[in-house]
Amino acid sequence: MIDIKFLRENPDAVKENIKKKYQDHKLPLVDKVIELDAQSRAVKQQADDLRSNRNKISKQIGALMAQGKKEEGMALREEVTKQAQQLAELEEKEAKLSEEVTSIMMQIPQIIDENVPIGKDDSQNVEIERFGEPVTPDFEVPYHTDIMEKLNGIDLDSARKVAGNGFYYLMGDIARLHSAVISYARDFMIDRGFTYCVPPFMIRSNVVTGVMSFAEMDSMMYKIEGEDLYLIGTSEHSMIGKFIDTINSEENLPYTLTSYSPCFRKEKGAHGIEERGVYRIHQFEKQEMIVVCKPDESKMWFDKLWQNTVDLFRSLDIPVRTLECCSGDLADLKVRSLDVEAWSPRQQKYFEVGSCSNLGDAQARRLKIRVSGEGGKKYFAHTLNNTVVAPPRMLIAFLENNLNEDGSIRIPEALRPYMGGKKLIK
């Protein structure tokens, strides 16, 4: 959510930003919010003037009563009573207008970073850099579930009977590999100075609307019936929520946290949920990283975060590339986003395994995450998040890039301590 003062003073810049995101249907919202904001401020001024006048009259009543002028005092008291009713009406109108302004502001996208390429959708994202040489083996690489099934590592049929499409049972060494990757990613981030955290896996609605747009909420979140609780789609949601309505000392920043959680997603409108595979699913586990920092440090942390993911995948011998997300592919709260994609020998192309995002002060403004700076001056923090690793997508990349011709899976040296010293899965 952008600053209402910025919108008020720079409506054309806000409209131009909306156009860059190919959301022209939102252009009327800018004029609408300016109109409502003017009404809200006018009503607030009337209410303030009325309060000031009431205070003056109250003092006059006290003076009149002290002088024995009871009749005159009672007449003024009736006027105060009338003004109290008028003030209550103004306060109710002010609250309603303020609520309308906030509702519209939450639909207007964040001002994007100058480095973001302009494009309509993810087909226009821009490749930035490749890390590692993509390898195509001499033998055919099977579909990832075929690899897992040959190793007795997955049971999709039973999961479908138990929970429906988009779920799976991982078994044996594949299940162990899944846990090993998560544990390795946890220690990888701890070694880079991040504090490990296991957060709540459910969050309240005010946190949901604080960390994401309404469109994302509708397409992703599972609501707990009868409760003001939602299952998290990623631990970023509850990790950022940890700082809701706080004033943080500038000297304590940045907060750098890495968190483990299961993730639950409706994947509403997504393609591929019916496929026999684990690329797009309703439930998975993930290691995440988040940063809460000063505004002038967020660009630096953005580069550090995505580099962590690249380094982790390269430590497991998986070639990756980075893509700068174009304007039309950015969620409304994001200032900038960069995807990390892993090489798929079977498909002969890269596919997304992680996403790094700088949200500027959007989440902080919604959740009231403030910083107390020099001289006690308060301002909103910047928040960032990035995927460390998210099996089972990571497993797809891992299995394809470490598959041997005989069907066995090579375990890179960095992961062997988490696999009981195993060098191969046979």
Q: What is the pLDDT along the chain (426 residues), one digit of tens a residue?
A: 899 999 999 999 999 999 999 999 999 999 999 999 999 999 988 888 877 776 676 666 666 666 666 666 566 666 666 777 777 888 889 899 999 999 999 999 999 999 999 999 999 999 999 999 999 999 999 999 999 999 999 999 999 999 998 899 999 999 999 999 999 999 999 999 999 999 999 999 999 999 988 777 888 899 999 999 999 999 999 999 999 999 999 999 999 999 999 999 997 655 555 466 888 899 999 999 999 999 999 999 999 999 999 999 999 999 999 999 999 999 999 999 999 999 999 999 999 999 999 999 999 999 999 999 988 899 999 999 999 999 889 999 999 999 999 999 999 999 999 999 999 999
Task: Please tell me the pTM assigned to this model.
Answer: 0.89
Is residue 359 within 8 A of residue 383, CB to CB? The reply is: yes
Cα distance between residue 178 and residue 389, in whole Å? 11
In which residue are the tokens 């696999």 written? 419
For 288, residues 6+ apart whose C-beta sits below 8 A from its C-beta are 234, 235, 236, 239, 258, 259, 260, 261, 385, 386, 387, 388
Q: Domain ranges for the chain, please list them.
A: 4-105, 122-425
In which residue are the tokens 């006048």 written? 53
Residue 82: predicted pLDDT: 73
Is residue 382 within 8 A of residue 360, CB to CB? The reply is: yes
Residue 117: predicted pLDDT: 97
- Backbone angles phi and psi of 170, in degrees to 5: -95, 140
Residue 180: predicted pLDDT: 97
DSSP of 246-313, one letter per residue?
A: EEEEGGGPPEEEEEEEEEE---TT-SSTTSSSSSS-SEEEEEEEEEEE-GGGHHHHHHHHHHHHHHHH
Give the C-alpha distances (Å, rounded to integers) separating 315 from 181, 310, 403, 410: 12, 9, 16, 14
Cα distance between residue 357 and residue 367, in whole Å? 17
Residue 89: predicted pLDDT: 82
Both tokens assigned to 82: 């009338």
E strands present in 113-191:
126-131, 154-155, 169-170
Q: What's the CATH number for 4-105?
A: 1.10.287.40
Is residue 285 within 8 A of residue 201, CB to CB? The reply is: no
Cα distance between residue 118 and residue 122, in whole Å? 11
Residue 69: predicted pLDDT: 66
Give the length of the chain.
426
Cα distance between residue 85 and residue 125, in whole Å? 57
Residue 46: predicted pLDDT: 86
Residue 64: predicted pLDDT: 60
Q: Which CATH class is domain 122-425?
A: alpha beta
How many other CB atoms sit within 10 Å of the CB of residue 51?
Answer: 13
E strands present in 76-186:
126-131, 154-155, 169-170
Residue 145: predicted pLDDT: 94
Cα distance between residue 109 and residue 332, in whole Å? 4
Cα distance between residue 371 and residue 57, in whole Å? 40
Nearest to 392 by CA among 358, 357, 351, 422: 351
CA 33 to chain centre: 25
